[in-house]
A and B are shown apart, each in its own frame.
Chain A
Amino acid sequence: MDNIIIIAVAALGGLGLVAAIVLYFIASKFKVIEDPKIDLVEESLPSANCGGCGYPGCRAFAEATVKQAKDERHLEGLNCPVGGNDVMQTVGKILGLEVEQQAPLIAVVRCNGSKANSPAKINYEGATSCTFAHALYAGEGGCPHGCLGLGDCVVVCEFDAIHMNDELGLPIVNDKCTACNACVEACPRDIIELRKKGPKGRRVFVSCINEEKGGIAKKNCEVACIGCSKCVKVCPHDAITMDNFLAYIDFEKCKLCRDCVEVCPTNAIHEVNFKPRKPKVPKEEKPKPKEASVVETIAEAAPSKENKEAPKEN
């Protein structure tokens, strides 16, 4: 009886030993020599594998960073939007390079064609896919540029940062947004744009991308940009341009004075995270459409730490 046990142990042990030796030699023969910095860089990354940097996953980004640092001695053009400045600084430290501070960005939905502002004229039946619906027709409200509300942006978001508000029929971005660009690419109508988050999360933007003539745009949506150019004239910083009946605020130039918000006749320009205005302006202030304020309150309701820490120079 004892014999059997000894034989069994010896046989199995011997097998294991032989296998271990073989494995050792194979492992040493096929060993891949990698820069250990790649591992270090990868560890410092957020491991979200979102692809926001343009590389397929964090590992690939780490490899690209180390390679570029070695070959070109700078990290320009490489940015982990999720990790932001902190992570890029760490990466720079690992690679012994200076990294420029970058202002944090956030995804901004530039459409306010909610169910109330742009009432449905037609009923859509079919796949829950903006890309498909975009190829099929202009949209329930009739605006060929407006949000279709089927949530392609929501599906691609890896950070739980964009959600469809059923009441509005519009997606709403919250502060979890890391500006990974996924929703921007998913939107078939290019409604979503990455803009500077702004100091304390304050930003001003035109919430419309309709390039139709004013009358036509207004017919489909109450809060469309009608291309009246009032904002262009009033802007003291030359930050607003008007192309194809559509105003665009350059966030690099905008100083957040909010003059344009006041003059916009259709309330197409939105201000976010500002304190309520002092009632010093005697002009009668048109009440904003309800929806616009909802967007703001949602964003305001959850002011994150990041916002407060945002660099002042913006």
Chain B
Amino acid sequence: MSMLTVSGSPHIHGDDSTKKIMYGVVYAMIPAMLVSVYYFGLDALRVLLIASVACLFFEWVIQKYLIKGPITITDGSALVTGILLAFNVPSNLPTWMIIIGALVAIGMAKMSFGGLGKNVFNPALVARVFLLISFPVQMTSWPKPQAIINGLTDAITGPTPLGIVKEGLGAGKTMSELAPELPDYMQTMVGQMGGSLGEVSAIALILGGIYMLVRKIITWHIPVSMLLTVVIFSGIFWGVDPEHYADPVFHLLTGGMLLGAIFMATDMVSSPMTKGGQLVYGFGIGLLTILIRMWGAYPEGVSFAILLMNAVVPLINMGFKPKRFGAKPGVVIKTS
């Protein structure tokens, strides 16, 4: 007989683990990865591979030589960051920029806060915003998607639908004049539009979202409150003046809206802990996104909105507590 063990209860553990959650997210991203490779060709594969490998590599280097602690690159969190980073950049981004992005994501946004679970901001988004500000030209010239079966010709670059709208409205055009330049809803659903790797196909992203909901990796609160806010807020303006404001469905399906709502805003580490807080957080992201899209300098505002709300999370956590059992005073007892 071996030595007995003593510990406090409970003595059993559900078989959930960080690893399972992280790889669950990776599985959920597979449809979007496939779509990106289908439309952007081998370039997409290159970006995905380099971003993932670079993230894993930087995490390993930092843990081994700087922190000199245990190596935890197999827990999947760096891989998730890598793929999300790839999802957030155009497929023709030079390799060295991706590597810089990975360094910023892992080194600056994650490890400098103390590693997994300690970061305030979503690492992939920090890297995206860093790249966007540092290399605005490369980060905003998106190749036009071409189905891989049509042959690998040199990709033509062009703006995203959001970019078209922003520029067009800025130049005094109306929505109906811009309509021919924009993809129709069917195209945005499957992903036939300009954009970063992972954000183009609504269907693939929603599939991933459903998978994560079923696996209970995410709850519905953040995506639903965020998207609902976007629909309502943009709907009001569209209803008042459809010629100068894009319709809510356009807002939902273009840009990084779904990618942000399903994969970025729901990042466990940087989102609020209670369901009430999550609703507020989603609302804030939705509102900020539309504000930036409509009146900001950038055509797209999801990443900025999420990062801004990330910063508010500690405050939300303080303000929103779960419903405590027995918080109400007792019931009045009938004495018969």
Contacts and interface: CB of A to CB of B under 8 A. Distances in A.
Q: Do A and B have CB atoms closer than 8 angstroms in the complex?
A: yes
The bracket for how many chain A residues form the interface is: 10 to 19
A120 B7 contact: no
A124 B5 contact: yes
A124 B3 contact: no
A1 interface: no
B8 A123 contact: no
B12 to A, nearest CB: 13
Contacts of A124: 5-7
A32 interface: no
Given A122-B5, A125-B6, A137-B6, 14 more contacts: A120-B3, A122-B3, A122-B4, A122-B6, A123-B3, A123-B4, A123-B5, A123-B6, A124-B7, A125-B5, A125-B7, A126-B7, A126-B8, A136-B8
Interface of A: 120-127, 132, 136-137
Nearest to A126: B7
Contacts of B7: 124-126, 136
A137 B5 CA distance: 11
A70 B5 CA distance: 59
18 contacts: A121-B3, A122-B3, A122-B4, A122-B5, A122-B6, A123-B3, A123-B4, A123-B5, A124-B5, A124-B6, A124-B7, A125-B6, A126-B8, A127-B8, A132-B8, A136-B6, A136-B7, A136-B8
Interface in B1-45: 3-8
B248 to A, nearest CB: 47
Contacts of B5: 122-125
A31 B4 CA distance: 66
Nearest to A137: B6
Interface residues of B, number: 6
A127 B7 CA distance: 9
A136 B6 CA distance: 8
A121 B3 CA distance: 7
A132 B7 CA distance: 10
A220 to B, nearest CB: 15
Nearest to B5: A123
Contacts of B3: 120-123
B313 to A, nearest CB: 27
Nearest to A127: B8
A125 to B, nearest CB: 4
A66 B10 CA distance: 53
Contacts of B8: 126-127, 132, 136
Nearest to A124: B6
Residue of B4, B6, B7 with highest tally of chain A CB at under 10 A: B6
Closest 4 CB pairs of A and B: A125-B7, A126-B7, A123-B5, A137-B6
Nearest to A136: B8
A137 B3 CA distance: 15
Contacts of A121: 3
A292 B262 CA distance: 61
A137 B6 CA distance: 8
Interface string B175-204: 000000000000000000000000000000
A237 B65 CA distance: 59
